[in-house]
Structure 1
């Protein structure tokens, strides 16, 4: 292990992302010190580490945040499917430690969200926005956390709340598309690591911004970069955009 190597804790280390994270941590010359799986108690273990990364499940987030606070270490949260109660927990924990929560740790997706925000801010509501995503057949949440992240970027740029302007699961006689709505479409199948497109559809022209993930290793490498960036930061909430200086 190289001089200056950092010690990582990974929550959900037996899952696909957890295994990819362990590889990425070691390939970057750092130490995968602690792994915690479902049902495990992270608190006695986090004191051995300098940063934690959580890619587990929403029901384990409370324990992960409590353990990070007790150890006084930053935590990066890549878990998807979070609800308002989870975001409230994150906001509370961020008063004491640095917390980076994101629906996607890919550096490419981070830049894509920035471009979506820029486009949405400059194109008026007469341009319809649709978010299309495809993932492997085993994914359990829909729309994906990344799709929501991209939708949030568009909504934020337009000064609207995504929760009030989101259209998904269209079926049957739905009527006309609501002006200003942000639509979501979901595809599932095969072993697709992640495909995301944001379509801006105007009168007689379209703009499509897209990203293709060929291997989940890209998410692991991005998570390692984000976690290392968090070490030594002041308590607060951070985003992947901060890591890239956007």
Structure 2
């Protein structure tokens, strides 16, 4: 699968590295706001042996319509920003390019726009695209069904400079139908990401914990999504839609 990448921050870099080392997929390009890396390619940047083009392109020098025309891809993986979808969404949907978004927070406006794009193309969104956290979500849902009146607390830990409440924690709260006040936030050092769901019973406690050891987990999750969207019809998909077949008894 030919892949284009939006966003080259900490998570975007990790995702690019994972794609470059995967022989089943090819990183065609990385689209950025700045043009500082335009003369280089991603494999050279990371010092990785790869035949992927992985060229850097800047919105200052290359229009997205031209880029998609000259360097077509099967899927776009987005680790840019909340507003990034507006830069490429319409163009990608028009060309039936799969949109795989891993943006932590979207407002109702962006979510509405994603659903609009999904009328024409495959659109996937996961606030946390790691496989492990989505397994945790599934397990939490099952436990809540067994004990609907159980006390639930959510703890999320991230690196010191991360702003706002974790989008993943908000997603967990939504799925379990608990209020946002039940989310406890910790910011310290360089914690990549840790989420814990505590189920408090009268005489026992169950804790489900997921911890990201490396941001490479985002890359593995993004490729999992890309591979499981290959034969899907246009529509709006979440991670649970891809995992559901594996949980059938």
TM-score normalised per structure 2? 0.81
| Alignment: residue pair count | 215
For the aligned residue pairs, the C-alpha RMSD in angstroms reads 1.6
Q: Does 1:208 align with 2:207?
A: yes
In structure 2, the partner of 1:95 is 119
5+ residue gaps in structure 1? Answer: 1-5, 156-164, 169-182
Partner of 1:179: none
2:144 matched residue in structure 1: 120
Counterparts in 2 of 1:1-246, with a 5 A limit?
6-12=1-7, 14-29=8-23, 30-38=25-33, 40=59, 41-47=63-69, 48-125=72-149, 127-142=150-165, 144-155=166-177, 165-168=178-181, 183-244=182-243, 245=245, 246=247
Cα-to-partner distance string for 1:78-126 (whole Å, 9 max, x where unaligned)? 011211111111111111111110111111111110001101111122x
Cα separation, 2, equivalents of 1:167 and 1:16: 27
Q: Hey, what's the Cα distance between the residues in 2 that align with 1:65 and 1:233?
A: 18
1:229 is displaced (CA, Å) by: 2.0
Partners of 2:105 and 2:234 in 1: CA distance = 24
User: Relative contact order: is structure 1 or structure 2 higher (C-alpha 8 Å, sep ≥ 6)?
Assistant: 1
After TM superposition, give the deviation of residue 71 of structure 1 in Å: 2.1
Unaligned stretches of 5+ residues in structure 2: 35-58
Q: 1:33, 1:49 within 8 Å by CA — same for their partners in 2?
A: yes
